[in-house]
Structure 1
Amino acid sequence: MSHAAGTLNGEAAPESPGRQTEPYLPPATHPVRAVVWAIHLIVPMLGLWLLLANPDTLDIKWQHEPSHFWLIIAVAGINVVLGGMISQAAARRQDARLVLVSLVFLSSAGFFLMHGLTTPKIILPAGSYGFDLSQPVGLTVASAFAFASALPLGDRAARWVLARTGVLRGALALFLVLWGFASLVPDLTPLSDRPPADGATLGLFSLVAVFLYTAAAIMVFRMHRKRPSSMLISLITAYALLAEAMFAAISHRNWALSWWEWHILLTFAFGFVAYSAYIQFRREGSSAGLFDSIALAATVRRLQAQYDEALEELVGHLRRRAESPVPVATRLAGKFRLTESQAAVLDRAGEALANERELSERLAALVDVGRTARVGLDEKELLATALDRVRQAYGDVRIGLVADGVVSVAARDYSEHDFPGGEPVRHDDALVHPLTVKGKLAGAMRVPIGRTPQDAALAGLLAGQMSISLENARLYGELSTLFRQYMSPDVAAALLADPEQAALGGSLVELTALFADLKGFTTFSEKVAPGEIVDMLNRYHTAAVPCILDNGGTIVQFVGDALLALFNAPARQQDHALAAARAGLAMQRAAARVAEEVAAEQAAGRLNGVEWPQFRVGVNTGMALVGNIGSPELRGFNAMGDSVNVAARLQALAEPGTVVIGSTTYEQLGTGARVSSLGDLSLKGKEQPVHAYVLHALPE
């Protein structure tokens, strides 16, 4: 039987989902364990069959009253201990199932005691009905409690059982007392009389108990499949052995080996539960949670919540490093009935867990700082956002930036000489790290240390991350001043993400070119002063350039009053023909507003009366060679090809205030574009005529 305990109590962990090829079977349903378990249950029944099949040769009688008395008293004692322990667990957990299971062992213990006391030649001179009936009656009562305990008790039923726990125990105690008087006092009731020679009839009790124990074992087995546990396996085994014992009791040949066999089965049934409880106690070092796996699912969930709350309390206390007259582990030890050594282990485990969690939070803060240091974030906003995040994980972090070669942090001034070799400076319980940009001191950061062993290393990582973020912000600020003034933000971002698009060389790309210039610029220039020419150009370009950039275009040339913008180069752009057409119409609307403002100012006498020139726009789509032309030190982005030349020719033919597009552009605009056909045009440098259109409007 000890081999069975070792076999059934071992709980195998399921394989990881990634490697699992067959469904996980809980320990009791694992093929090998199931076979061993079945063997231990079949062997007693096989032995009973052999004894009863050979009553004269094998099922011999051996009547030894003292052996029977002490065997039954020992089993009763085991049941008293188990019943008491489970009763304490039931009161501690307020669990109805544990109440009913405790009554299984307490009722068995009481009737075993009655059976032992009625053993012939102990108190009574001979056998009695009480001797024959005490054990089967007691086990039948226990089977009723076992069946009830295995039912899926809901909240209402559980509350009913808990509210009547005292009544159930009192009724059981009263029944035992009355049974004892009736069995032990001579001539008081028939229970003290001698039964017939073949013993009292036990068939009804036995059959009822066999059914109830079998049903209880099946229901507990189903619980075990959902929540594998060695104590549940022990309970299943006990109920199965008790069912076999009651089945064996049907024969009731007093003092025969078959009669002794069902006494031994009873001993094994309750001894098995006791042994399992002892093994679990040795493993856990405490009896507080021995029977938690038997409890109702609601109780298990409540306990899990309590454990989670206690763990959070422990971790929170250790993270804060709060000074308390009573250590948190001691408070939890009282709450969960832990031993002194367990409380010490809990303190050390909690300390390690708190350090690990704090390390995880600080690493997460580092990741967040890197994530928030995105392109285009203002330097002040970057530092404010980063400080808010890192202070949650690192404590009172301070940052100062260089001004006139000196950086002030936490009321202390530092210069580049204070950080030889870029090493940090320690002051009290903090490290002051230099923040650098292109190898030069740009600021300093003060980080508290001393809370975890990894503080110094984490402070260095944080300083490095902040230096990178600060340098990126400043470099991007320079790019915004230079790079972004020549192209749209989307194009600039695309080139930052893929610098290969700005490499020297060229490639053949379909693009849309937009040419624009001012009709009448030469005449205007002859009539006004140079300063007025500059003012006029700046005013028109200030209005026109955003129209190109907002539609994703890149301005590659300003030549006097003319400009060239490309769409779909250098960064790729969907619907580039439509974007260029929208930009052209937007430019004409912006130019018209400028013309209205100029006319108003001329009427008011704030400007001379010379007529201002007007924009004309040409747009064409086609293949062109685009790339960076120049040297590694100085380069210029441009496009060359027939499609670009056609755009220039269309712009030269356009009337002031209009947008002229080529046939390829028109085809890519789709339906809804409102145009007027100019027919086939003969353009300079082109042998074949080019069909062109005046673009009036695009669909919204």
Structure 2
Amino acid sequence: MNQNLNTSFFADFLHDEGLEFAIFDAEGRLIQHSGGLVDFLMVPVDGALTGQKLSHLFPELIGYEQSLQDVQLGAQPGLQIERIHRGDLRGAPGYVTFHIRAYQGGWLLVARNVTPEGQLEQKVTQQRNELSLLSGQLKQARTQLDDLLRRFVPSAVVDHMLTDVTKTQLGGERREITVLFADLRGFTNWSENRDPEMVMDVLNQALGGAVSILLKGGATLDKFMGDALMAVFNAPLAQTDHATLALRCAKEICINQKLSKNLRFGIGINTGSAVVGNIGAAAAMNYTALGDAVNIAKRLEELTAPGQILVGPRAHELADPQIPRVPFGHVKLRGRQKPVAVYEVQC
């Protein structure tokens, strides 16, 4: 059998396919090659290529000595190195794929110029990395926006709107809710002769403590009104024990107040039918509750002394009887013709 390839036929065939070849002996020296092989070399070569070492002509193969030996001995069918990135030295291809097989005691190396594919892959990888970076930035921005939004809009309302876009429209629905009003009794008089910065610090401390308890207890914070706040239960998310939750929150707020005995929250709680939803304009709206049940809760709060909790009849009826409370009496509330049965939660 002829030990030499028909160079002309083989080289022309490979060249038509965008390939060049090189044959190395058992010591890794070049003994035969196609004419276009020189275009694949990264290193300058003085004189003839024949006799040059494999690792010198193709330094990318340094480190593959064991694999080359396994190929030569038949322990490995071949070695294929995909899309090696190369520089532009001597105009060599930017990306090359090597296919290496055992041949006549040495190796047959077939080199393919895959620069277009390599450049496309690099572009796709770059775009993927850019998209990943952009996705991370968008995720971070969304997290920051979500955190910012929840500082001004109750978290329960935000979650409700994100799951149902119709909840971002004006209007609402009628349902039974429990409403809680808390006013920092004596704060207006206390703040008259004090620095505004100190007034704000104390107010934020008091409101912050109450809000923390309310949110932990399942309330939806409706609004702040100077030194007072309004919260609702059973809206926008349903809570079967909404009256109990409200009384528990009120009791905890009462117990945890530490400002002074004369600077404490007075809390009014009432349960009844109300319309809950968005009011305002399409460009600016607030989630709130409207109705007589809300008005009664506010009137009860107006009756309270510092550290006192007053509860309307329906809230008293629904709430857990284990929460201590006593009759306060039938009270004529402002704006109502008939007296209302009121109960006081023992703080």
TM-score tier by shorter-chain length is 0.5 to 0.7
- What is the identity, as a one-letter code, of the residue corresponding to 1:588? C
- Equivalent residue number for residue 145 of structure 2: 478
Q: 1:689 to 1:674 in 2, by over 3 A?
A: same
Matched, 1:634 2:248: no
Q: In 1, Cα distance between the equivalents of 2:303 and 2:160?
A: 34
- 1:261-308: per-residue Cα shift (whole Å, max 9, x none)? xxxxxxxxxxxxxxxxxxxxxxxxxxxxxxxxxxxxxxxxxxxxxxxx
Matched, 1:467 2:96: no
1:674 counterpart (312, 317, 324): 324
Conservation of the 8 A alpha-carbon contact between 1:487 and 1:549: no
1:502 counterpart (149, 164, 168): 168
- 1:607-639: per-residue Cα shift (whole Å, max 9, x none)? xxxxx5321001112221122212222222221
- Equivalent residue number for residue 644 of structure 1: 294
Q: In 1, Cα distance between the equivalents of 2:71 and 2:158?
A: 59
Matched, 1:553 2:219: yes
Conservation of the 8 A alpha-carbon contact between 1:488 and 1:549: no
Q: In 2, Cα distance between the equivalents of 1:642 and 1:551?
A: 24
**Structure with greater strand share of residues:** 2
Conservation of the 8 A alpha-carbon contact between 2:183 and 2:227: yes
The 5-angstrom pairing of residues 57-456 of structure 1 reads 323=64, 324-325=67-68, 326-327=70-71, 330-331=74-75, 456=123
Q: 1:683 to 1:457 in 2, by over 3 A?
A: same
Conservation of the 8 A alpha-carbon contact between 1:649 and 1:684: yes
Q: In 2, Cα distance between the equivalents of 1:638 and 1:540?
A: 22
- Equivalent residue number for residue 254 of structure 2: 588
Q: 1:680 to 1:563 in 2, by over 3 A?
A: same
**Bigger radius of gyration among the two:** 1
Q: In 1, Cα distance between the equivalents of 2:74 and 2:339?
A: 96
Q: 1:517 to 1:690 in 2, by over 3 A?
A: same
- Equivalent residue number for residue 663 of structure 1: 313
User: SS of 2:130's equivalent?
Assistant: helix
- Equivalent residue number for residue 520 of structure 1: 186
Matched, 1:539 2:195: no
Aligned length: 251
Q: In 2, Cα distance between the equivalents of 1:508 and 1:621?
A: 13
> How far 1:470 sits from its partner (Å)?
1.9
- Equivalent residue number for residue 339 of structure 2: 689
- 1:455-491: per-residue Cα shift (whole Å, max 9, x none)? 754653453244233213213203312x222455455
Q: 1:682 to 1:465 in 2, by over 3 A?
A: same
> How far 1:505 sits from its partner (Å)?
1.7
Q: 1:671 to 1:615 in 2, by over 3 A?
A: closer
The alignment's TM-score, normalised by the length of structure 1, stands at 0.32
> How far 1:687 sits from its partner (Å)?
2.8
RMSD (Å) for aligned C-alpha atoms:
3.5
- What is the identity, as a one-letter code, of the residue corresponding to 1:497? T
Q: In 1, Cα distance between the equivalents of 2:246 and 2:72?
A: 70
- Equivalent residue number for residue 604 of structure 1: none
Conservation of the 8 A alpha-carbon contact between 2:156 and 2:220: no
> How far 1:555 sits from its partner (Å)?
2.5
> How far 1:542 sits from its partner (Å)?
2.6
> How far 1:523 sits from its partner (Å)?
3.3
Conservation of the 8 A alpha-carbon contact between 2:180 and 2:267: yes
Q: In 2, Cα distance between the equivalents of 1:620 and 1:329?
A: 89
Q: In 2, Cα distance between the equivalents of 1:494 and 1:455?
A: 43
Conservation of the 8 A alpha-carbon contact between 1:676 and 1:694: yes
User: SS of 1:594's equivalent?
Assistant: coil
- Equivalent residue number for residue 511 of structure 1: 177
Conservation of the 8 A alpha-carbon contact between 1:491 and 1:552: no
**Structure with greater helix share of residues:** 1
Conservation of the 8 A alpha-carbon contact between 1:486 and 1:556: no
Conservation of the 8 A alpha-carbon contact between 2:272 and 2:293: yes
Conservation of the 8 A alpha-carbon contact between 1:495 and 1:571: no
Conservation of the 8 A alpha-carbon contact between 1:662 and 1:690: yes
Conservation of the 8 A alpha-carbon contact between 2:154 and 2:222: no
Conservation of the 8 A alpha-carbon contact between 1:501 and 1:570: no
- 1:154-175: per-residue Cα shift (whole Å, max 9, x none)? xxxxxxxxxxxxxxxxxxxxxx
Conservation of the 8 A alpha-carbon contact between 1:487 and 1:553: no
The alignment's TM-score, normalised by the length of structure 2, stands at 0.61
> How far 1:558 sits from its partner (Å)?
1.9
> How far 1:690 sits from its partner (Å)?
2.2
- What is the identity, as a one-letter code, of the residue corresponding to 1:473? Q
- Equivalent residue number for residue 270 of structure 2: 620
Structure 2 residue ranges without an equivalent (≥5): 1-62, 83-93, 96-115
- 1:92-111: per-residue Cα shift (whole Å, max 9, x none)? xxxxxxxxxxxxxxxxxxxx
- 1:28-86: per-residue Cα shift (whole Å, max 9, x none)? xxxxxxxxxxxxxxxxxxxxxxxxxxxxxxxxxxxxxxxxxxxxxxxxxxxxxxxxxxx
- What is the identity, as a one-letter code, of the residue corresponding to 1:651? E
Conservation of the 8 A alpha-carbon contact between 1:488 and 1:550: no
- What is the identity, as a one-letter code, of the residue corresponding to 1:546? S
- 1:654-691: per-residue Cα shift (whole Å, max 9, x none)? 23202222222223323422211223322222233322
Return the structure number with greater relative CO, CA threshold 8 A, min gap 6.
Answer: 2
User: SS of 2:289's equivalent?
Assistant: strand
- What is the identity, as a one-letter code, of the residue corresponding to 1:523? N
Structure 1 residue ranges without an equivalent (≥5): 1-321, 333-342, 356-427, 430-448, 597-611
> How far 1:572 sits from its partner (Å)?
4.1
Q: In 2, Cα distance between the equivalents of 1:531 and 1:452?
A: 62
